[in-house]
Amino acid sequence: MLNLPLIAYAMWPSFYSQVLPVLPHHLTEAYYGVSSFHGFMGAGVELFGLYLLLAVGTKSIPLRFQLRRLKLWMRIELALWWIVILIGGLTYYFWYVRAW
């Protein structure tokens, strides 16, 4: 939940103005491909995290969609976030370091 304002304030405007207008034509360029992968994977992992939050913190999820082995799913979520963070580092590299 705490990551959502950061995504809305800092990441979405950059993605919307610099990457989204040229998709899907420039996905083979590292500048757009890496940032697109980071954006879409980050959005998916964020949604999965919100689902985990609902599944654990409330009873609003139907019984057949509730999770078993919660510790495993939380570890998967953590691993996915680490992958997104590493891809975010690559995005920073292609946007700011390599561009010089």
pLDDT digits (tens, 9 = 90+) for 26-67: 767 777 888 888 988 999 999 999 898 888 877 788 877 778
Better-predicted residue by pLDDT, 85 or 23: 85
What is the per-residue pLDDT for 57? 73
Angle between helices 30-57 and 70-92 (to 10 degrees): 160
Distances in whole angstroms, Cα of residue 30 to Cα of each of 56, 58, 95: 38, 41, 9
* Domain residue extents for the chain: 3-97
Count the Cβ atoms, other than its own, within 10 Å of residue 42. 22
Residues 36 and 19: beta-carbon distance below 8 Å: yes
